[in-house]
């Protein structure tokens, strides 16, 4: 249901349209002049204004301009019996949502207005979501280690130094990378993301450096790579440990010289792009194992920032959960959704091996499935609500964090029909889960 204002100096048209749209469930008000319409707009908010083009004293085009000057988000549809290309162009330039010629059928005007109502709803939803997101910054923290990390990140953002982000999957390295870009002098330039795990070596090389026509099968035209597109901005390389050996060499040259050649090309391209890289694996260990170039590691490791896992910043869990519930409630059309105290206690008891990503997934599930506007422990996934005993070693035992993670993965795998389902419950991607299964001998 939407609020409509119908403006026409022909009162019978106003009355007929008001009755028609009211029968469809909308709230309607009418005005027989632009002046009366402006008085109503000063008192009430309307989703859509449907106004005649030609009226005595002040016409619909002038009314449209005044509405846009006062309430830029209000959608205005102009009706006219004197259609012309010039009139339509003037209306659209002034900000009209649509333009309809009289006489029109009720079905025609219904379709136009309902499209406008749908757009108004989407705008309101997006505004509410932005407000929910802006209320509590995702990187806000009461944790001392996290606050120190953010202080260092903000200081590093003002430099041109390469930054390496480390930490477990799901801790928010991509969020921090984007924030560093926003804090930097490059904020108005592109922020380009390259995930090193999702593409084959050939495709990844093309994504990074671009290619020329004929470089390989399917290369039908020249294509710039992500580094080139990011000129003046920032490139974020996620999971840099998975960069293939041959590309490590080529990428090292880029870091040293800020230049490269496209795949199959001979022209050297110079690009000014800042690099932020991230890895959930210890790159020093990858260097010792011979899987990662030592010189590339040192080039990347100018400033290293370690994102703490969620279990090391428990003082942030409740605030972060409330922020997520608010944002996810708006996204899933449940803007009044909240979190009970019992649910908060359950979240605090859990150890979150999948970190912030797992927390978000658990709360989105609850936001969708909760039967009331207050999320309770019963709305949370079983892995959270009923923490398996094996996941918390008894005092005095010597179980390591890896033992805890292994036991938890075993429990979730046993409770899931597919790897995709298990990965979703853990808050990690399938590739990461596959690697952890191999690491812990769970294949």
Q: For 115-163, how does the pLDDT look when each residue is reduced to its tens digit (9 = 90+)?
A: 888 887 777 666 655 554 544 456 778 889 899 999 999 999 999 999 9
CATH architecture of 388-443: Orthogonal Bundle (1.10)
CATH architecture of 320-387: Orthogonal Bundle (1.10)
Question: CA–CA separation, 377 vs 4, rounded Å?
Answer: 42
Residue 396: the pLDDT is: 42
Give the residue extent of every domain in the chain.
Answer: 3-134, 144-308, 320-387, 388-443
Q: pLDDT digits over 47-104, tens only?
A: 899 898 888 777 788 888 888 877 777 889 988 877 666 766 777 777 888 878 888 8
Q: To 10 degrees, the CA torsion angle through 202, 204, 207, 211?
A: -20
The count of residues in the chain is 443
21: which residues sit within 8 A by CB, 6+ positions away? 4, 6, 28, 110, 113
- Find the angle CA(34)-CA(38)-CA(42) to the nearest 5 degrees: 170
Percent of the chain, pLDDT > 70?
91
Q: Please state at what angle helix 430-439 crosses helix 419-426, rounded to 10 degrees.
A: 100
Between 216 and 298, the higher pLDDT residue = 298
Largest separation between any pair of C-alpha atoms in the chain = 87
Q: Provide the CATH number for the domain formed by 3-134 in this structure.
A: 3.40.50.2300
- CB-CB neighbours of 51 under 10 Å: 24
Q: Which residues sit opposite 101 in a β-bridge?
A: 80
- The DSSP call for residue 263 is B
- Strand, helix or coil for residue 113: helix
The band of 394, judged by pLDDT with boundaries at 50, 70 and 90, is: very low
What are 123's two structure tokens? 């705008």
Q: Which helix (H) or strand (E) is 378 found in, with range? A: none
Does 386 have pLDDT greater than 80? no
Q: pLDDT digits over 260-285, tens only?
A: 999 999 999 999 999 999 999 999 99
Alpha carbon separation from 344 to 17, 249, 299, 376 (Å, rounded): 50, 48, 43, 9
Question: CA–CA separation, 357 vs 57, rounded Å?
Answer: 59
- Strand, helix or coil for residue 360: helix
Question: CA–CA separation, 127 vs 120, rounded Å?
Answer: 11
Q: Provide the CATH number for the domain formed by 144-308 in this structure.
A: 3.40.50.300
Q: pLDDT digits over 20-37, tens only?
A: 989 988 889 999 888 888
What are 294's two structure tokens? 């030592």
49: which residues sit within 8 A by CB, 6+ positions away? 4, 5, 7, 37, 41, 63, 67, 74, 75, 76, 77
- Domain pair 3-134 / 388-443, same fold: no
Q: pLDDT digits over 279-309, tens only?
A: 999 999 999 999 999 999 999 999 999 999 9
């Amino acid at each position: 249901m939407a609020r409509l204002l119908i403006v026409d100096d022909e009162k019978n048209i106003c009355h007929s349209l008001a009755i028609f749209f009211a029968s469809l469930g909308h709230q309607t008000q009418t005005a027989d002049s632009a002046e009366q319409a402006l008085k109503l707009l000063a008192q009430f908010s309307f989703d859509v204004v449907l106004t005649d083009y030609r009226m005595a004293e002040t016409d619909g085009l002038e009314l449209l301009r005044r509405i846009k000057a006062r309430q830029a988000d209000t959608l205005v549809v102009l009706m006219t019996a004197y259609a012309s290309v010039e009139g339509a162009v003037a209306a659209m330039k002034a900000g009209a949502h649509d333009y309809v010629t009289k006489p029109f059928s009720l079905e025609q005007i219904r379709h136009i207005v309902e499209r406008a109502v749908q757009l108004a709803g989407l705008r309101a939803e997006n505004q509410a979501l932005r407000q929910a997101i802006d209320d509590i910054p995702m990187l806000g923290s009461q944790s001392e280690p996290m606050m120190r990390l953010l202080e260092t990140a903000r200081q590093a953002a003002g430099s041109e130094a390469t930054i390496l982000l480390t930490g477990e999957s799901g801790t928010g390295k991509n969020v921090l990378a984007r924030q560093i870009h926003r804090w930097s002098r490059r904020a108005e330039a592109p922020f380009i993301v390259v995930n090193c795990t999702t593409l084959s070596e050939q495709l990844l090389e093309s994504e990074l450096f671009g290619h020329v026509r004929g470089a390989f099968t399917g290369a039908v035209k020249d294509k710039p790579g992500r580094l080139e597109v990011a000129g003046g901005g920032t490139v974020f390389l996620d999971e840099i440990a998975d960069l293939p050996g041959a590309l490590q060499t080529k990428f090292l040259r880029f870091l040293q010289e800020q230049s490269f050649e496209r795949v199959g090309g001979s022209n050297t391209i110079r690009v000014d792009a800042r690099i932020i890289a991230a890895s959930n694996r210890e790159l020093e260990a990858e260097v010792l194992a011979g899987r990662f170039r030592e010189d590339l590691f040192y080039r990347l490791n100018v400033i290293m920032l370690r994102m703490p896992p969620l279990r090391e910043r428990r003082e942030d869990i409740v605030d972060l959960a409330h922020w997520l519930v608010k944002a996810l409630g708006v996204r899933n059309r449940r803007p009044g959704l909240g979190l009970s105290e019992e649910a908060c206690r359950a979240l605090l008891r859990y150890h979150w091996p999948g970190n912030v990503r797992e927390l978000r997934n658990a709360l989105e599930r609850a936001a969708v499935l909760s039967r009331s506007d207050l999320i309770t422990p019963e709305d949370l996934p079983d892995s959270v609500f009923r923490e398996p005993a094996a996941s918390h070693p008894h005092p005095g035992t010597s179980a390591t964090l890896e033992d805890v993670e292994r036991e938890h993965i075993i429990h979730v795998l046993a409770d899931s029909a597919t790897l995709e389902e298990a990965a979703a419950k853990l808050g990690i991607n399938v590739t990461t889960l596959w690697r952890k299964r191999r690491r812990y001998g769970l294949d």
